[in-house]
Amino acid sequence: AIAALGFRAADPTGYGRFIVEGARLVAIREQADASEAERRIDLCNAGVMAIDGRRALQILGQIGNANSKGEYYLTDAVESVRKQGWESVVIETSEDEVRGINTKAQLAEAEAVMQARLRKAAMEAGVTLIAPETVYLAADTVFGKDVTIEPFVVIGPGVSIADGTVIHSFSHIVQTTLGKNVSIGPYARLRPGTSLGDGARIGNFVETKAATLEAGVKVNHLSYIGDATVGANSNIGAGTITCNYDGFKKHKTVIGQGAFVGTNSSLVAPVRIGNGAYIGSGSVITRDVPDDAMALERNQQTIREGGAARYREMKTGGKKPEK
């Protein structure tokens, strides 16, 4: 009349226990109602039960609430079946297939099982995981051929990685599409809405968000590219920031193909940098730059001979500064 799914628990605490006599299941005892002997049983209830539909209403109608919580337990259907002279049986599966999650520790255990499966599946599909136990994947991660992932990489939901791409250590990627032969990191963060074309390079301590970087784009270090489109084969220098938020709304930065943005530049959106344009290092760009133009925004450097010595004299009165 009933087939109940069970498993052998390494730690049965908290689970309902299967009480069996030979091959028959005679009762399912909840933790709160179990005796000390019953609590030592490791054959536990997985919470899945098949009931003969022709007899289901008769079985369920006899369930009472004579228990420590005064609740109606579906598990009492087994004893209902026994009283009517019918049989219940146990179908066993592995704990990993049906483990319950009632605590944060159990959640972590279930996550570990899932990660082990995802890593194994990835490697069987041809992905090279340098240190598999340190890589965290999502169930929907899509891999191309010959992908390499170095240690301590976290890949969240919605990530697609094409052939030949390498993800270096300590990178974090979510809702991102990576083209072929892309290089990421180390220490890169790719946030939702990022799309990288074939051969793009994202270096250390670079963050992207809602950004499309076309084929061959290089953003090698210490930059933030958000709400932006960067044309093919452009180079974004270290420390470049797309200033996309004005305190109220997000704005878009568009950089053309083959553009060169010098180090430590701030591109204040909305702004457009033309194809082949050149932005001098240290510039704050607030207006559109035409194709093949050079933009430089920088105050003239001044040198005051002896100025440092005079400044120290003013601040210390000729005394040596405190260490």
Q: What is the DSSP letter of 300?
A: P
Q: Which residues contact 74 (CB under 8 A, 6 or more apart)?
A: 49, 60, 63
Q: Which of 168, 172, 221, 251 is catalytic?
A: 221
- The helix or strand, by DSSP H or E, that contains position 281, with its residue range, turns out to be none
CA distances from 60 to 53, 72, 135 (A): 11, 10, 47
CA distances from 218 to 91, 185, 236 (A): 57, 12, 6
- The helix or strand, by DSSP H or E, that contains position 108, with its residue range, turns out to be helix 104-124
- Decide if 251 is catalytic: no
Reading the block at residue 44, the tokens are: 């536990």
CA distance 82 to 89: 11
* Catalytically active residues, by annotation: 221
